[in-house]
């Protein structure tokens, strides 16, 4: 089947599916799938101080990151809100930070502002390397991943296709939603802190030294609970249409959150992620846009 491409949004230009999304989801679940994510931008950092520098700026422990080891992380604002999402890998010479299209310009500007006298060089490397979701069972950060030189995209695809099926963002999103993995810009807004979306001890290392915004993360973790929680919604599938991402979540006519990613899962049916006020009872049926939905816990109340 020929590829159907995403025609807008943060995945513009990516492959949506190849005509058989259910088959693609099953292959992904079995670890026998790969995906070309070359539409996502990447920032490269060269220089002797690259690991210790990003270690000091981000929520992740990368001071001793090994070549080929993948980690997720964030750069937070001073109040602990998620400002830039990061998917991090080092090849032994260069540190690569994959991020979202909407975040890359701001990320590069921020990194240049924090360079000072350190031995680091920063550049947009989106024309040099690409991200692939490699074959294998899914891990907590959505991998396994592969760092692929742009000149080798075609050959890498052919090599993966010998043992795995290529899939698109439909299958990836369905698996991500079912697994409760949030994505920046979908399950987050400018006020989101990591505690709300279940990424502590995944994108946020809880035992490393100081970084910008750490005080908020630590205070909420130690002394209380955040005002919102990431929740998996099971949408009423009796109709044809699904609610749009960003639609309000309401309870008894009052707004209690917003809808994130919406997906059609091959086993669970129509599902979505949402960021909802913690005060909403987990057993309550909420409304996502015009669609009734039941809740399943991801982040504990």
26 contacts 178 by C-beta, under 8 angstroms:
no
Q: Which residues of 71-85 are buried (b: 16+ CB within 10 A; e: fewer)?
A: bbbbbbbeebbbbbb
What is the number of other CB atoms lying within 10 angstroms of the CB of residue 249?
26
Residue 299, pLDDT above cutoff 90: no
CA-nearest of 36, 32, 1 to 15 is 36
| The predicted structure's pLDDT at residue 285 | 97
Within the chain, what is the greatest distance between any pair of CA atoms?
Answer: 60
65 contacts 52 by C-beta, under 8 angstroms:
no
| The predicted structure's pLDDT at residue 1 | 63
Separation between Cα atoms, residue 52 and residue 113, nearest integer Å? 16
220 — pLDDT class (breaks 50, 70, 90): very high
pTM exceeds 0.85: yes
* Complete edge-to-edge strand list for the sheet that includes strand 165-166: 145-149, 129-133, 33-36, 165-166
| The predicted structure's pLDDT at residue 2 | 87
CA distances in angstroms from 277 to 80, 82, 184, 300, listed in the order given: 18, 18, 18, 12
- Mean pLDDT score of the chain: 96
| The predicted structure's pLDDT at residue 145 | 98
Q: Which residue has the higher pLDDT, 173 or 2?
A: 173
CA-nearest of 144, 141, 122, 143 to 204 is 141
Residue 301, pLDDT above cutoff 70: no
Model pLDDT for residues 125-160, shown as the tens digit of each residue: 999 999 999 999 999 999 999 999 999 999 999 999
Model pLDDT for residues 32-46, shown as the tens digit of each residue: 999 999 999 999 999
Which two tokens mark 218?
Answer: 């630590």
Separation between Cα atoms, residue 121 and residue 112, nearest integer Å? 9
């Amino acid at each position: 089947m020929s590829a159907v491409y995403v025609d807008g949004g943060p995945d513009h230009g990516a492959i949506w599916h190849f005509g058989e999304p259910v088959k693609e989801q099953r292959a992904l679940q079995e670890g026998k799938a790969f995906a070309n994510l070359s539409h996502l931008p990447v920032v490269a950092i060269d220089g002797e101080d690259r690991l210790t520098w990003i270690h000091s700026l981000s929520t992740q422990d990368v001071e001793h990151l090994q070549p080929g080891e993948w980690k997720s992380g964030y750069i937070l604002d001073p109040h602990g809100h998620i400002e830039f999402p990061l998917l991090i890998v080092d090849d032994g010479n260069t540190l690569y930070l994959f991020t979202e299209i909407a975040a890359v310009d701001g990320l590069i500007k921020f990194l240049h502002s924090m360079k000072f006298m350190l031995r680091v060089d920063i550049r947009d490397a989106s024309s040099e390397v690409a991200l692939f979701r490699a074959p294998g069972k899914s891990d907590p950060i959505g991998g396994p991943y592969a760092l692929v030189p742009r000149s080798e995209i075609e050959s890498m695809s052919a090599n993966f296709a010998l043992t795995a099926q290529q899939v698109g963002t439909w299958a990836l999103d369905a698996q991500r939603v079912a697994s409760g993995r949030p994505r920046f810009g979908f399950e987050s807004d400018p006020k989101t802190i990591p505690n709300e979306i279940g990424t502590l001890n995944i994108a946020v290392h809880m035992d490393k030294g100081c970084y910008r915004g750490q005080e908020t993360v630590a205070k909420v973790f130690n002394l209380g609970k955040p005002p919102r929680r990431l929740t998996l919604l099971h949408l009423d599938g009796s109709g044809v249409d699904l609610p749009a991402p960003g639609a309000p979540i309401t309870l008894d006519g009052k707004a209690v959150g917003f809808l994130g990613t919406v997906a059609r899962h091959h086993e669970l049916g129509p599902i979505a992620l949402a960021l909802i006020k913690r005060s909403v009872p987990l057993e309550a049926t909420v409304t996502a846009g015009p669609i009734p939905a039941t809740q399943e816990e991801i982040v504990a109340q």
